[in-house]
């Protein structure tokens, strides 16, 4: 009731003031005149007052609408959304670059994330990495992948690291074998290949050949290492060795270190003629003559070995070549040639040649020379 009375009194006052103004307007309209730069506007006082009041009201309304619509807030929101997109994208780039070993690219991307005001992705990723030893990690891992599938590789890398740190080697191998992209993470790939080298070198040969984003020199080094290990593990088994070499190209099969491993494998399965052929191929390559001692393990006729050595004799043979030639001549009972070759190797500092030379002296009943040489070998004295 009190509020109604206030409204009634207020309305009466407004009507009264309106009546007074109306009387004033009828009694004396008044004049307003504005001039500017040669222009002149003339109107009644009340009309001018109405125009001024209306203009003020319109300006106040426009100001209120402007504040309500807040285009500056729109621009701020737009810039924030844009920066968040940049930060989210660069966070992904930073993490993927770090996984692939490109630290410089990762740092550049992180600088962009900072410049954009940060990203929610980064704290979530760090939180997942820090909590790897928590009991609920697998649940957190699943939730992380579900919320941000683009960072699945990062989460899988953390799981691989977790398996490695807890010593679950077999689980680590299975996890890596099932994820090709994960094998492109350099530090995980190194661990994976190391354990595969011991557990399944033959399987590693194919994995190395199929590896992506790896330098040719590193690939070849690992290929040689894995093939050598696989052939060693396959010694005595004809089927296993064939499967190891089956996945290699002709060029790869003829790499010097692979030929050496193949010769040893062929000797283990009594394929001596094939091993002899592989040695001939090895000796035809540059800077491989010092591996001629492989010939001593091959069970072909000694005369074949002797003829081959004579056919490839270099102008300045090294100690291994001299020792091998001496042993082959010794087996052929060519005493003079054998002694000459072995003495040349012994003088070059080849201790095994000294042992063979002492044996030659014994066979030829040269007891004093043999005794003196054995004494020198025992004391480490070289001629």
pLDDT at site 212: 75
The top-level CATH class assigned to 200-288 is mainly alpha
Residue 291, class by beta-carbon neighbours within 10 Å (0-12 exposed, 13-18 middle, 19+ buried)?
buried
Specify the higher pLDDT residue, 106 or 324: 324
Domain limits, the chain: 200-288, 316-383
Per-residue pLDDT band at 116 (split at 50, 70, 90): confident
pLDDT at site 319: 94
Mean pLDDT of 123-133: 83
The answer to whether 155 touches 99, Cβ cutoff 8 Å, is no
Give the tens place of pLDDT for each residue, 158-185. Answer: 899 899 988 999 999 999 989 888 888 8
pLDDT at site 224: 93
Specify the higher pLDDT residue, 280 or 42: 280
Mean pLDDT of 99-103: 77
pLDDT at site 27: 62
């Amino acid at each position: 009731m009190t509020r109604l009375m206030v409204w009634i009194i207020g309305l009466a006052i407004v009507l009264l003031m309106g009546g007074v103004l109306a009387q004033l307007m009828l009694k004396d309209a008044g004049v307003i005149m504005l001039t500017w730069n040669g222009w002149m506007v003339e109107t009644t006082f009340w009309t001018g007052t109405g125009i001024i009041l209306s203009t003020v009201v319109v300006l106040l309304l426009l100001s209120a609408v402007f504040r309500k619509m807040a285009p500056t807030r729109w621009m701020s929101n737009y810039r924030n959304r844009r920066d968040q997109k940049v930060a989210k994208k660069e966070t992904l780039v930073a993490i993927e670059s770090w996984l692939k070993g490109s630290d410089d690219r990762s740092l550049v991307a992180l600088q962009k994330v900072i410049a954009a005001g940060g990203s929610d992705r980064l704290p979530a990723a760090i939180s997942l990495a820090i909590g790897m030893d928590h009991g609920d990690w697998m649940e957190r891992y699943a939730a992380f992948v579900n919320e941000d599938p683009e960072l699945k590789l990062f989460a899988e890398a953390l799981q691989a690291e977790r398996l490695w740190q807890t010593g679950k080697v077999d689980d680590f191998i299975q996890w890596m074998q099932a994820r090709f992209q994960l094998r492109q993470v350099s530090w995980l790939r190194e661990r994976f290949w190391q354990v595969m080298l011991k557990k399944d070198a033959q399987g590693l040969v194919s994995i190395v050949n199929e590896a992506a984003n790896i330098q040719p020199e590193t690939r070849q080094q690992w290929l040689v290492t894995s093939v050598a290990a696989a052939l060693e593990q396959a010694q005595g088994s004809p089927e296993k060795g064939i499967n190891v070499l089956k996945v290699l190209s002709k060029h790869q099969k003829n790499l010097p270190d692979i030929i050496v491993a193949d010769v040893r494998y062929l000797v283990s399965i009594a394929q001596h003629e094939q091993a002899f052929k592989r040695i001939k191929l090895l000796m035809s390559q540059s800077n491989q003559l010092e591996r001629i001692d492989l010939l001593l393990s091959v069970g072909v006729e000694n005369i074949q070995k002797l003829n081959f050595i004579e056919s490839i004799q270099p102008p300045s043979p090294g100690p291994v070549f001299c020792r091998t030639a001496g042993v082959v001549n010794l087996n052929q009972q060519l005493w003079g040639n054998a002694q000459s070759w072995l003495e040349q190797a012994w003088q070059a500092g080849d201790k095994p040649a000294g042992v063979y030379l002492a044996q030659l002296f014994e066979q030829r009943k040269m007891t004093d020379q043999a005794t003196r040489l054995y004494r020198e070998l025992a004391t480490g004295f070289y001629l």
